[in-house]
Structure 1
Amino acid sequence: MADWEALCYFRQQRCAKEVVQLVAKSHGGQFNVDAQQFLLRHCICDSVCQVHPPSPAYLRRVLKYGIQKAEDQRMDLCEELLKQYLSCMSMATDATGGSWCFKSFSYGPALKVEEDDRVGTNLHIACSQPPDTDPKVGYRAHELITLRVSENMLEGATGCHPWEAGFLLGEFILNNPVLFSGRSILELGSGTGLVAVCLARVGARLAILTDGQQKAVENCRHNLNLNGIKHTAVDPSLLDFRKCVVSLMSSVGSG
């Protein structure tokens, strides 16, 4: 299902070229007006991404490549696509928060895009409700994980940047719940909290999370809350690995 794959790629901010190519694939390989409208309606205007959007820079890349793809194939350009691109070009990225964005991951079976639209719309409505309601309860039911991440590793917050190894470990946990259900687990370097969310989803009794960066710990807490994970089951805390190593070496030396 190339259309579902395209939506998942977009939510994860995968390569813009691949997103557009998958949309074209679902339309017979042609990035015609129908394909362009699909990109707008089901990816750019996806309800999940409206609540937790990708970075403006990524959005511009997807739209730019989509326009280029249509022009290369000598297809008519959808007016709404051009308007959306011009609107993105005029958006100024906030210098203080421009590196932060959201990535969402679906780990359940593929859905028809129309069904996912309904799920996303329900989530969007829930997130717009007053604070006394809980908009996060839908995430587990719909097998969706959303993370706030930083795209700028030069800030020093490497723990706020998603890493491929974390996705592989999260996938292993979700595919092998019996290994983790009811267990107490210590994670060194919790980063964005992806693994912690996966552990909570499969029923780990307690997950003690540690990271050496205060900003990463704070962002991990944010992501746990974003996915409806209670802090009584998952506890993120700061652990200075350098001090631990010095303490260990001192113990070895004195022994």
Structure 2
Amino acid sequence: MAAAGDEQLLLHLKLAFFALEPSARVLALARKAGGGSVTPRVQNFILENCIGNNVGGGQNYTYVETILKKVIAEAELSSEIVNDELYEELGQCMLSKSNNSSLNVANKIYKDISFLSPTYDDDSSNTVSLVARLSCSTNMLEGDTGCCLWPSSLFLSEFILSFPELFSRKSCFELGSGVGLVGVCLNYVGASKVILTDGDASTLINMKANMEMNNLYIEDSRLVIESKNKVECKYLSWEEASDKDLWDCERDVVLGADIIYNPSCVPHLVRVLSMLLRRDDGQHRSVDAATDEETSDVNGATGGRVAYIATVIRNVDTFNCFAKAAADSKLSIVNITSTAAPSSFLPYMLSYDRSSVQLLKIKLSLSDTDDGKSSLLMLPF
């Protein structure tokens, strides 16, 4: 019988496969589960629990083929016995691809992102707390970035699951929602309303499809209003957005992941953030949130709406442009990456570099003398 630690390693291998982690990362987990090599036991596990339960179907044949080739090559290299069924599965994948040319041109793949409870033990039946199934693009280098899954989205999702009290019974509004992973997590922690937005039409279509796969999206706007814990998907162009466009959008908490990336978009982003964070006297509030005088933030303080933005600072000049525009618009930015570090819900995703992501808390400045610039000293560069 396998030890508890071994079972955990095998679980990580399985979840990495369903999340379509890079093949080298999956192979590293397979090697680790086998104590340094891809043993016959690990090979059987891959056949029975990964390949045999391939939830992605035909569109993931290319990925399965790649994994099989690497597992076979690794086993042969280490002089381990290779299970004959691995060769058979590889042959079947190659045959299926040749018989169905559409599999070779598919630009969408399905990833199952499983969030593990950080405190789980190997005997627990509640090891996986949440699974989000997402249709993602394989054409990241061809402009289809909105349908890709980015580290900041994973980080923001972990943050939501780590601090559910910040979002439970709150109206949450996300900018640049992409594939919609954050929306799935907000629904899971009990947000009273979740509004996901994006300014790209194809991304919005994919996002709605993802919400449907996760049983969250309702097309009828009347039903959206009447149904709790459901997600609404809306088109929102930052360049064209006006107060009127946002008037009927309830929001106590504003969120965004990897939305600070283009200097030309910065003025529009800051303008939209300012509108979303401003408390208008006539603005509707969620029924549950209205029972509280103020919205609490991650440090336990209260005082109006708050935004949480997760971002990878790929270009310091672009971020500085955002910081200056925010300060000029009387927005206060505080880096809370270290003080509000989320728990690790994705230990099996070896390609996910949590250290590259910064988490910012943004609010309207309390006074005209507070220009937000002092908070920039907390940024790590």
User: Is the Cα contact below 8 Å between 1:5 and 1:22 reproduced in 2?
Assistant: yes
TM-score for both structures, normalised by structure 1: 0.77
CA apart distance, 1:30: 2.9
What letter is aligned with 1:17?
A
Instruction: Name which of 169, 174, 188 aligns with 2:156.
Output: 169
CA distance in 2 between counterparts of 1:142 and 1:180 reads 17
Q: Count the aligned residue pairs.
A: 221
Matched, 1:67 2:72: yes
What letter is aligned with 1:235?
E
Q: Which has the higher mean CA deviation after the structures are superposed, 149-158 or 88-97?
A: 88-97
What letter is aligned with 1:228?
N
User: Is the Cα contact below 8 Å between 1:55 and 1:100 reproduced in 2?
Assistant: no
Q: Which residue number corresponds to residue 240 of structure 1?
A: 237
Distance 1:25 1:55, change over 3 A: same
The percent of aligned pairs where both chains have the same amino acid is: 31
What letter is aligned with 2:137?
S
CA distance in 2 between counterparts of 1:164 and 1:39 reads 26
Matched, 1:200 2:180: no
CA apart distance, 1:71: 1.1
Alignment partner of 2:113: what SS?
A: strand
Matched, 1:159 2:159: no
CA distance in 1 between counterparts of 2:76 and 2:137 reads 33
Q: Which residue number corresponds to residue 36 of structure 1?
A: 43
Q: Which residue number corresponds to residue 86 of structure 1?
A: 91
CA apart distance, 1:7: 0.8
Deviations along 1:206-233, one digit per CA (max 9) or x if unpaired, are: 1221101111111111111111214323
User: Is the Cα contact below 8 Å between 2:59 and 2:103 reproduced in 1?
Assistant: no
Structure 2: gaps spanning 5 or more residues: 1-7, 219-223, 225-229, 242-267, 272-381
CA distance in 2 between counterparts of 1:32 and 1:74 reads 10
User: Is the Cα contact below 8 Å between 1:105 and 1:144 reproduced in 2?
Assistant: yes
The within-5 A match list for 1:40-119 is: 40-46=47-53, 49-50=54-55, 55-90=60-95, 91-92=97-98, 93-94=101-102, 98-109=106-117
CA distance in 2 between counterparts of 1:12 and 1:101 reads 10
CA apart distance, 1:103: 0.7
Distance 1:195 1:177, change over 3 A: same
CA distance in 1 between counterparts of 2:103 and 2:84 reads 30
TM-score for both structures, normalised by structure 2: 0.53
Q: Which residue number corresponds to residue 137 of structure 1?
A: none
Instruction: State the Cα RMSD in Å.
Output: 2.7
Distance 1:99 1:197, change over 3 A: same
Q: Which residue number corresponds to residue 12 of structure 1?
A: 19
User: Is the Cα contact below 8 Å between 1:55 and 1:98 reproduced in 2?
Assistant: no
CA distance in 2 between counterparts of 1:25 and 1:164 reads 24
Q: Which residue number corresponds to residue 132 of structure 1?
A: none
Q: Which residue number corresponds to residue 181 of structure 1?
A: 168
Distance 1:15 1:154, change over 3 A: closer
User: Is the Cα contact below 8 Å between 1:24 and 1:31 reproduced in 2?
Assistant: yes
What letter is aligned with 1:39?
I
Structure 1: gaps spanning 5 or more residues: 120-140, 249-255
Matched, 1:27 2:34: yes
Distance 1:148 1:104, change over 3 A: same
CA distance in 1 between counterparts of 2:72 and 2:148 reads 29
What letter is aligned with 1:26?
A
Of Structure 1 and Structure 2, the greater helix share is in 1
Distance 1:41 1:62, change over 3 A: same
User: Is the Cα contact below 8 Å between 2:56 and 2:110 reproduced in 1?
Assistant: no
CA distance in 1 between counterparts of 2:105 and 2:231 reads 27
Distance 1:74 1:45, change over 3 A: same
CA apart distance, 1:23: 2.4
CA apart distance, 1:204: 0.8
Bigger radius of gyration among the two: 2
Q: Which residue number corresponds to residue 201 of structure 2?
A: 214
